[in-house]
Amino acid sequence: MAANLLEFNHLSKQFKIGGMLLGTKITAVDGIHFTLPGEKPQIMSIVGESGCGKTTLAKMILRLLDPSFGEIRIDGTPLSFYAKRRNQKAFLKKVQPIFQNPFSTFSARKMVDTYLYETALNLDVAANKQEAKVVITEVLKSVGLEYSNVAGKYPNQFSGGELQRISIARALIPKPRLIVADEPVAMIDASLRMNVVNLFKKLKDEYNVNFVYITHDLSTAYYVSDYIAAMYRGNLIEYGLAKEILSNPAHPYTELLLESIPRVGKKWEEEMALPDLESKEYAMAGCKFAARCAFARDICRSTKPSMLHLNSDHQVLCFKPSNYEIPTVSTQNRSPESADGNPSRLKI
């Protein structure tokens, strides 16, 4: 049996906001515990609004941040193993990033093909520039670009979509096990976003590579995902096979996220948005979503729910789907209310 590609074992990350004495401690990622199977290439989308902890989680996968507690394993190996200098190259061969802003990925003073050659040579993919050119030509072709149209040019000679394709090509050079893409379509024109997302689906099988796709764009996550992990205020509130979550969301917040996806022929009755990040919600003893949830009861506000396994492919951090009795209310016929009685508005 193949090892899990990723294991998150009671993973937490805390930050201190403000002064040393009077500052507030924020738990940006709070005790996350789940696995992503590794028997075949997968695309896992981590979704949620700004401030939910998804980018912090991505940075820990990429070893740009160290966990405060817990650990991450890739193919059964703790990421702490790669902290040793002699193992860092092995990590870069296994895990590659794609960042949000392609214009900040490349220096304006440096030709973009220089980055491709450096990646191929520094990670021992090629022994010399001639071998590197063969590899670079192949990966550029896989993302729909020709080597002759890229070589010798500077970043300002490309569009944002083209630069992001070059970023993807660069990530493919070592043929990694995992690519972590943090909001990769956020800086690209809406008309071109699906082109990039379609690339992920194509490359997943062509290169046998897994993707962790960090996004607040629910429409692309809806389309591309094999697995979905929904986060709210640092908590993993729902996780499982995308088809399970999309057809039967078990957490009220996930329902709201899915209701926010535009659908042909369906008119939005009203604008919905959640308030901006509030540090007090991170400190709540119970469910972080309780103050916004129309289903919330006293137990939700006082006790943090345990992760409930609905089946082998679907789990949720919520009392609602359990034996705890809460009346059912259709999300299509109600406006969720916050603790003060005012309709909350979902902002994605």
- DSSP of 168-230, one letter per residue? HHHHHTT--SEEEEESTTTTS-HHHHHHHHHHHHHHHHHTT-EEEEEES-HHHHHHH-SEEEE
Class of the CATH domain delimited by 6-251:
alpha beta
Nearest to 24 by CA among 317, 338, 277, 300: 277
The yes-or-no verdict on residue 343 having pLDDT over 50 is no
* DSSP class per residue in 83-147: GSGGGHHHHHHHEEEE-S-HHHHS-TTS-HHHHHHHHHHHTTS-SSHHHHHHHHHHHHHHTT--H
> And the tokens for 165?
């394709």
Query: E strands of 263-344, at which residues?
Result: 307-311, 314-317
Q: Which residue has the tokens 């304006």?
A: 108
Nearest to 65 by CA among 83, 43, 44: 83
Query: Is residue 236 within 8 Å of residue 229, measured between CB atoms?
Result: yes
Average pLDDT rounded to a whole number, residues 207-211? 94
Task: Specify the length of the chain in residues.
Answer: 348
Per-chain mean pLDDT for the chain:
83
**Residue 307: pLDDT band by 50, 70, 90 thresholds?**
confident
pLDDT, tens digit, 9 for 90 and up, residues 222-280: 788 999 999 998 899 999 999 888 888 888 888 888 877 665 555 444 444 444 445 56
Percentage of residues in the chain with pLDDT exceeding 90? 46
d(CA 126, CA 132): 5
The pLDDT of residue 221: 83
The pLDDT of residue 348: 35
**Residue 42: pLDDT band by 50, 70, 90 thresholds?**
very high
The pLDDT of residue 261: 66
Phi/psi at 156 (5° precision)? -70, -5
The DSSP secondary-structure symbol of 245 reads H
- Which pTM does this prediction carry? 0.82
Phi/psi at 161 (5° precision)? -65, -40
Angle, to 10 degrees, between the axis of helix 129-142 and the axis of helix 160-172? 120
d(CA 189, CA 161): 8
> And the tokens for 98?
């794609």
pLDDT, tens digit, 9 for 90 and up, residues 90-119: 999 999 999 888 888 898 899 999 999 999
The pLDDT of residue 336: 37
The DSSP secondary-structure symbol of 79 reads G
The yes-or-no verdict on residue 335 having pLDDT over 90 is no
- The H or E element containing residue 337 is none
Higher pLDDT, 205 or 336: 205
pLDDT, tens digit, 9 for 90 and up, residues 123-173: 999 999 999 999 999 999 999 999 999 999 999 999 888 999 999 999 999
Query: Is residue 6 within 8 Å of residue 73, measured between CB atoms?
Result: yes
Nearest to 35 by CA among 265, 291, 241, 324: 241
CB-count burial class (<10 Å; 0-12, 13-18, 19+) for 235: buried
The pLDDT of residue 208: 92
**Residue 297: pLDDT band by 50, 70, 90 thresholds?**
confident
